[in-house]
A and B are shown apart, each in its own frame.
Chain A
Amino acid sequence: MLFSQYRHPKLTLAEKIWQLNWSLVLLITSTALIGFVMLYSAANGNIEPWAYQQMIRFAVGLVIMFLVAISSIHFWLRYAYVAYLACLGLLLVVEFFGATGMGAKRWIDLEFISLQPSELMKIVIILALARYFYASRMEDVERLSYLIFPVILLAAPITLILFQPDLGTAILLGMSGIAVFFLAAVPIWIFITGAIAGIASIVPIWNFVLLDYQKARVLIYLRPERDPLGAGYHVMQSKIALGSGGLSGKGFLAGSQSHLSFLPEKHTDFIFTMLAEEFGLIGGLVLLSLYFLIMIYGFAISLRCRHHFGRLVGMGITMAFFLNFFVNIAMVMGLLPVVGMPLPLVSYGGTSILTNMIGFGLILCIYINRDVTFRPGAADR
């Protein structure tokens, strides 16, 4: 009996829909609307090629979000590891296919749509870690041996993603994973020791583990100015565009920097710059406020939840969402190195939308199932 463990009575579908946190849905949709407007502007006032596509993707994303929201929370607990293994497998497949492929075949195959398992991993890793910690006791998490397994859970996808190489996603994955550890009440001294050990191991790893070409890749990440047309130039142009926006911006479709193509990738990673150029500080603050409100909702829903699984997943996803937009905006303002990370709900891109909507779906699902409690071992039944 699936629902026998629930203290809360079974909810009907109608009740679930009634219970949906509609104000959060409204916030998400408003943020996406800003995205459509900016993509319309990025194409010089055309709905093609980006805005229209993005709307369709968002619509599909909404449906998926609702489906996730009305699903049983028990389902996610039970299949967290399965999803993790599947996603890890996909990562391996990507690694494998990166190496082979006939030249002629690739060249003729123009209609291929790429799926990025590393994006999905952002959600799945949080589920898997929450699944591990959901029934842990305070004594458990103080034992180092208890932490070996979740550390492996986290390290495996990070390693694979680092080899892709995608430093941005790997760091984001690491940070949101560590946040789950932190929320699971792992003692502070372990984090401090871990940090020290991590820093101390950099030198031997550099000298003995990494191959020359891998070192070269890391160096390019750390010193983008090595690449004259690369990140350094982009960030300089991005700062000029952003700064010249002033308090209220140059006006919709009137961002000279963006429209004269000084600004690269304005529909993906640098879309915030375009927003700030055309709508100024006010426009930027509106978007930041929307993001902040979404975060607060995630935070409140997690705290209100009665079961530890939901608390960990909810806060984990909220943290990942925060890191995602924080790193992107800090990057385009020259505060962090350019690592290639889209602005959630706003940047053009299919997998990013899908991941974010699944994440919000889970938060809504936790909200609906906030009063459910699991018995220990519920995941295995």
Chain B
Amino acid sequence: MHRDNDRYKAYSRRAVLLLGGNVILLSGLIGRMYQLQIMEGERYKTLAEDNRINLKILAPPRGRILDRFGRPMAVNQRNYRALLVPENILNINTTIAALSQILNVTAREKKRIVREVKRRKRFSNIVIRENLSWRQVSQIEANALELPGVMIDVGESRFYPDGEASASILGYVGMVSEQEMVRDPLLQLPGFRVGKTGMEKVHDVALRGKGGTSQVEVNAFGREIRELSRIEGQRGSEAWLTIDNELQKFVSKRLGERPASAVVMDVHTGEVLALASTPSFDPNIFKKGLSQAEWKQLISNPHSPLNNKAISGQYAPGSVFKMVVALAALEKGVISKNFRVFCNGEMELGETFFHCWRIKGHGHMDLFNAIAQSCDVFFYEIALKTGIDHIAAMARRVGLGQKFKIELPGEKAGLVPTRAWKRNVKGTKWQKGETLLAGIGQGFILTTPLQMAVMISRLVNGGRLVVPSMTRTVVPFAGKPPEYTTPPSFKNMGVHASHLGLVRKAMVAAINSPFGTAYKARIKEPEFFMGGKTGTVQVRRISKTERESGVLKNKELAWNERDHAVFVGYAPLEIPKYAISVIVEHGGSGASTAAPVARDILLELQKRDPNSGSGAMQERREVRLEPKIQAKKFLREG
């Protein structure tokens, strides 16, 4: 107990010390109150009576979003708004009732306004309605006396001239939510908008700019009389994207209303020229805020318009994966250029039959023809020889199964399966049959359209590890195009040039040889030839009985059981510049659905490029002969 006594003594001594300190501090507070209220009270009373000066924040114009050529993709429009000044309202219900005669305020709007009046700091005004017509503005002004607390101001609102076409890239702006409303006074301005998703969100802080201030004299009711001083804010920086807006519109229109997506990129710089996901949504409707019903409709649409399929849609790649399998087999040395397999339409493994898409078989196939004609049996065979782990390693090198940290939110990584993955995640051993399926890009493997565009770029750009990007620069408004830093040169991925060459030749044949899978969808103008590969991704299991009675055609199936149509391609042939990937969900075969879309896009793109096509034709004529010679060769070989 003696010990506790010592401790208690120390404790009580110190507690008294603390209390003494507190009392001194409290006397300080009281002294300060005495000073402010009694000694200087009169001075502050006069100050309070003269306190007619209020400081206002001026919203800066939000920075525009421009395409690579400076064409506007997101701009600002003049916007007349009706505001409610809470401290001037006598009775909110009568004010809103009076206003209803002019604006037709719905019950829902009224609920929102009343709620905001309660929630918001009374310091700030509340937006009743935006985008007023001239007629409405003049009616409100004329009836100002019956509408205490209502005022009109001119603001700016975001406008997306191309609406749905670029929504998957730009995203949209919306009202500041309670969580976002930090102490930044700019965010508390009525009707201030912040980026909610897409590029608007990615570059939000830079696009916002800096608020200015204005000192205004007000009367006893808070109405402004005149402005005393003004510090201008700084308009938001402008974001220059890598997108070619005209192309973007073309791609979006070409995809139409089907659930589909396409990515076009520069194979050397990785700059994304177009990235479309359909069906899309009109970002302009988010300006006023959606009703629950509208929002539910967007959310519950089975074709998920809010989901950017180009970066977050994950699909099995199907036959476009065959290039990866071929490169892995060549690199491991299990096959050579002349290795042949006889395809009779199926392959037997254990008790199971694995079928080729061509029921009667392709006959003798070498690598070149197996890619061009997309023979499945050939790839079952070489996938078995190569092994899943080698295939997976090659898939990762060409860009599958990983995120590129593209600026847009929601990017998915896809999945490149390995033995270790199966053991760890599924808890079972890898089966040989699964290697076979991987050989034709089916089974566990998942890729995004963006990854497929990167893959085709890396295959045709000389084997460099190009990485996609979407923003060129974000700079303060200057009125002239900014200077771009030259894109970084990418490292080589270390795949043998002759292997890449072989695969590329086969991709030329897949489109341009009469035996190629996409011959019908080729570009016919020789100066604009494209190369590529089709893919048809099966999303259901074909039963044995169905095989015997004849496999059902896509047209005979329910929409969500039909195959996904996939295509990857590039152009021009000799010095490739553009890569494209197209996926049409449940669109049927790659050759009939995805390839024509890619063809139209690549053709349009090259026609508009001043450095390609007939202009550059003269210099390239000699190189260009090559594919024609090859085409003849295929005829002989076939």
Provide the bound-state CA to CA distance between A228 and B186, in Å: 11
Q: Which residues in chain A, 164-214, are within 8 Å of chain B measured between CB atoms? A: 179, 182-185
**Chain A neighbourhood of B231, CB < 8 A:** 228
From residue B173, how far is it (CB to closest CB) to chain A in Å? Answer: 9
| Contact mask for chain B residues 24-41; partner A; CB cutoff 8 A; 1 contact, 0 none | 011011101110111011
**Chain B neighbourhood of A237, CB < 8 A:** 51
CB of B220 within 8 A of chain A? yes
B44 touches A288 (CB 8 A): no
**Chain A neighbourhood of B183, CB < 8 A:** 230, 340
Provide the bound-state CA to CA distance between A326 and B22, in Å: 9
Stretch at the interface among B63-71, B118-126, B554-562: B118-126
Stretch at the interface among B160-168, B194-202, B604-612: B194-202
A239 touches B44 (CB 8 A): yes
CB of A295 within 8 A of chain B? yes
From residue A87, how far is it (CB to closest CB) to chain B in Å? Answer: 21
Question: With A106-B180, A138-B10, A185-B10 known to touch, is A302 a contact of B15 (CB < 8 Å)?
Answer: yes
Provide the bound-state CA to CA distance between A235 and B306, in Å: 45
Question: With A104-B196, A104-B306, A247-B38 known to touch, is A315 a contact of B119 (CB < 8 Å)?
Answer: no
Q: Report whether over half of chain B's contact residues are helix, strand or loop; otherwise say mixed.
A: helix
Q: Report whether over half of chain A's contact residues are helix, strand or loop; otherwise say mixed.
A: helix
By size class, the interface of chain B is 35 or more
| Contact mask for chain A residues 63-90; partner B; CB cutoff 8 A; 1 contact, 0 none | 0000000000000000000000000000
**Chain A neighbourhood of B57, CB < 8 A:** 229
**Chain B neighbourhood of A184, CB < 8 A:** 11
CB of B222 within 8 A of chain A? yes
**Chain A neighbourhood of B30, CB < 8 A:** 285, 288
B36 touches A239 (CB 8 A): yes
CB within 8 A of B7: which of A138, A292, A322? A138
Q: Which residues in chain A, 302-322, are within 8 Å of chain B measured between CB atoms? A: 302-303, 308, 311, 315, 319, 322
Provide the bound-state CA to CA distance between A302 and B18, in Å: 13
| Contact mask for chain A residues 256-298; partner B; CB cutoff 8 A; 1 contact, 0 none | 1101111011100000000010001100110010001001000
CB of A242 within 8 A of chain B? yes
A103 touches B171 (CB 8 A): yes
CB within 8 A of B177: which of A107, A138, A185, A322? A107
B45 touches A244 (CB 8 A): yes
| Contact mask for chain B residues 1-16; partner A; CB cutoff 8 A; 1 contact, 0 none | 0011011101110110
Chain B residue at minimum C-beta to C-beta distance from A281: B37
Give how many A residues have a beta carbon under 8 Å from the other chain's beta carbons.
Answer: 68
CB of A233 within 8 A of chain B? yes
**Chain B neighbourhood of A48, CB < 8 A:** 118
**Chain A neighbourhood of B22, CB < 8 A:** 295, 319, 322, 326
Question: With A242-B37, A242-B44 known to touch, is A137 a contact of B7 (CB < 8 Å)?
Answer: yes
From residue B341, how far is it (CB to closest CB) to chain A in Å? Answer: 48
CB within 8 A of B51: which of A112, A257, A280, A302? A257
**Chain B neighbourhood of A110, CB < 8 A:** 177-178
B55 touches A106 (CB 8 A): no
6 closest residue pairs by CB, A with B: A243-B44, A103-B196, A49-B118, A244-B48, A185-B10, A103-B197
Residue positions of B touching A, CB distance < 8 A: 3-4, 6-8, 10-12, 14-15, 18-19, 22, 25-26, 28-30, 32-34, 36-38, 40-41, 43-45, 47-49, 51, 54-55, 57, 87, 118-119, 121-123, 171, 174-175, 177-180, 183, 185, 195-197, 201, 211, 213, 220, 222, 231, 295, 306, 409-410
- A sample of 23 inter-chain contacts (CB < 8 A) reads A49-B118, A103-B195, A104-B196, A106-B196, A179-B18, A182-B14, A183-B18, A184-B11, A227-B185, A243-B45, A243-B48, A247-B38, A247-B41, A256-B48, A261-B123, A266-B122, A281-B37, A292-B26, A303-B12, A319-B18, A322-B22, A330-B32, A333-B33
